[in-house]
Each structure stands twice: as structure tokens, then as C-alpha cells.
Structure 1
């Protein structure tokens, strides 16, 4: 009798699970890895780019979670030094945004390229997807520097077969009303423009990640 009772309870529980449908899958884990532009310099955490992008993706029906691994002042060498521990196991994709501080400091573009290559290769070796976010050299660095720096991102995207968003500050860099008082970093409205422009690229990236 006890076995019959146990069997009945087991079948009832199984039927309940079937009726309830499949268990909810965990969200797709992404990491926004970059500098102050990613970190959300002088902005509330909810207005930082990763948080705003996560909300925009969720509003479009994508079950994602985006960790903010932005560090103000970070260069490509700083990113390379911390990428192993800043991107946890279980991460499906990384939005890789670094290089602005390299250009501002006049770091040789060849060094920046080498560091970006190393980060991409580290992530790919772990089976983590990469969305490369490009930067442009500031005009005051001169034409020779720009000619060496600006092609880094499209060339690496082509070489490694990773998607590219050409310029992180597209739509913001020339509009003072979209930046904070320092004239360099986006304000909340500017972050909104960045998210809106980048969203289609990120959607395609997310849809291509292994579930």
C-alpha cells in the first residue's frame, strides 16, 4: 500500500511539472568590458550603458543579463591584465570596448592592436563570443596616428570573424547636449542614443550565441 501511495504521489508531481511546462532557462550572461564609457562615468548605475542596454534587450524579448565590467581610465593593457578574472565562467558573450584611453594618451597603435588581439584570443579560447566595439582617434592626435589607430577594429573583426560596432560614441561625440560637463562622456540622454544605435547589432550578436 505504501508503494502504491508513493507511486501515486510521484505521478501526480510529474503531471504537475508537465502541466507547468519547461523550467525557466537562465538568462544569457553578457559582460560589458571596457573603460569609463562602459562603466558610466559620473552616472547612476542604472544609467550606465550595460544597464540601459540590458533593459532595451529585455524590452525586445531577449532574456539577458549584462554585467558592468567597465573601469574608468582603463587602457587596452589594463583590460588585458584583468580580463581573465573580470569575465566569469558561464559568460556567453563579451562586448569589448577599449582603446579610447590609448588614443588619448598617444599609446602606439601597434601596442593597442596587440592587446586587443590577446583579449579576443583569450575569450575565443574560452568559447565566449565577442562583439568588438570600435573607437576613433581624436583629431588632435593628427592624421598619421589616426591612419594607424582607426583601422585596428575593422581589421581585427575581419581577421577573427567577430561582429563589429564601428564607433561607440556614434551620434554623441559631436553633440554637447548629449555629454556631461567634461565634454567627453555621455550623459543619460547620450547613453540612450548609444543604446538605440547599437541595439540592432547587439540583438544579432545575442541571437547568434549558443544557448
Structure 2
């Protein structure tokens, strides 16, 4: 490029003009390549991803975007969270949630499956299909789960809890078994009374400070994934 520009200085006006026109597409191509370096991360999830009950800028996606940028990463995090969505709902909208620019997929689904006590076998099948599509497209994936409750019985809980490590191993993707793990880390324990200040009044969704704690825990895992 430098040699071409030096050569242009020695050419006649007409030749310089012709050469300039020839260089324009190359300059646009270089500019486009630089813009393409921004990593697009799609966060596919439910209300925890969507930012339920929080003001604009306080939800999981904008706080994660801010954390990653503050840590020197050139990323764009896309909010593909839908409140109330199950693993089946996430699978049904996966194709139009991803774009040719998507590089990384965060899969944070299963919370509504466990709240409704749905068949863990169906949850496993849906997540398996999501990961199959993602890995076939060459995407990096962070699979984020939630621990199953005990009120459906120990067998149900064991079957549900096994979904995330099993599928992560099967597809060779990164995994965090508990979306809410950052709350316990920030609060210094799992006692509900200790964690309550980080939760909204419904006791299900984190407040802004709770999301900050979650992002502080998940952010390094995503950073490591991007650096791998």
C-alpha cells in the first residue's frame, strides 16, 4: 500500500486519478476488515438474560458488555433473552438469533424448565440441539446452567443437574453450572438472608447489584473463552 501511494506521487494527474479509484475498494476492504474484528456475542436466555425488572443499562447484557470492554475486549453483546422462555423456546428462535457476524454464543436456559418441573429429558434434548447447531457453525460457546431444586425429588434433581456437565463434555464447550454463583461469592455464602440484598423483591431475579456480582463472576470465564 505504501509503495503504491509513493508511486502515485510520480504519476500524471490522470494516472493518479485512475490509481486512486482503483485503491478505493481496497481501502474500504481494509476498513471493513478492521470493523469485523469486533467480536459479536449472542446471549441466548430467559428473564435472567433479558434483564427482567431492571432499568435500561442495569441488566445482564449491558453490564457484561461494560465489563468486557473495561477489561480490554472489543466486543458487542447482543441480548437474545426472552422472559419466561424455556429451553424449547430458546431452540425455536435460535436460527434467527444468530447472524453471520456471531462469534460466540452464551446459552443460559433452563430456569423456567426447572420452575415448571418439566421433564429433564426434554430440557436435555433441547439444549443438545442448540449446542449441535452452535458448534456446527463454529461458534465458541459458554453453557450456563442452574442447579435443580429439591422439591421434585432427588431423582429429578440429579437428572436435571447432570444435563449441563454432560452436554458440555459431549460438545466440547465451556460450562458454568450455576448462573447465580456470583451472588454467593459476593455475599460470602449461600444463606438466603445473606444473598437477599442482591435480589429483587420476587426473590428470583437479581437486582442491579446482584447482576454486577454475577457478571463479575462470569466475566472472567468468558474472557478466558475468548482468549482460548
TM class by shorter chain equals: 0.7 to 0.9
Residue 173 of structure 2: SS of its match in structure 1? coil
1:185 alignment counterpart: 205
Separation (CA, whole Å) in 1 of partners of 2:15 and 2:52: 59
What is the Cα deviation at residue 171 of structure 1? 3.4
* Deviation sequence 1:106-156 (CA, Å, 0-9, x none): 101111000000010111222222111111112323322111100110111
What is the Cα deviation at residue 199 of structure 1? 1.2
Structure 2 length normalisation: TM-score?
Answer: 0.81
What is the Cα deviation at residue 7 of structure 1? 4.4
Separation (CA, whole Å) in 2 of partners of 1:126 and 1:170: 29
Residue 52 of structure 2: SS of its match in structure 1? coil
2:12 alignment counterpart: 4
Separation (CA, whole Å) in 2 of partners of 1:194 and 1:119: 23
2:169 alignment counterpart: 158
2:67 alignment counterpart: 56
For the pair 1:201 / 2:221, whether they are aligned, the reply is yes
What is the Cα deviation at residue 25 of structure 1? 3.1
Separation (CA, whole Å) in 2 of partners of 1:127 and 1:172: 32
Residue 139 of structure 1: SS of its match in structure 2? coil
Separation (CA, whole Å) in 2 of partners of 1:136 and 1:7: 69
Q: How does 1:28-177 map to 2 (within 5 A)?
A: 28-172=39-183, 174=192, 175-177=195-197
Separation (CA, whole Å) in 1 of partners of 2:99 and 2:35: 19
Q: Which blocks of at least 5 consecutive residues in structure 2 are unaligned? A: 1-10, 185-191
Q: Which blocks of at least 5 consecutive residues in structure 1 are unaligned? A: none
Structure 1 outlier segments of 4+, above 6 Å? none
Separation (CA, whole Å) in 1 of partners of 2:48 and 2:179: 9
Separation (CA, whole Å) in 2 of partners of 1:79 and 1:198: 21
Bigger Rg, structure 1 or 2: 2
* Deviation sequence 1:51-79 (CA, Å, 0-9, x none): 11111000111000000000000000111
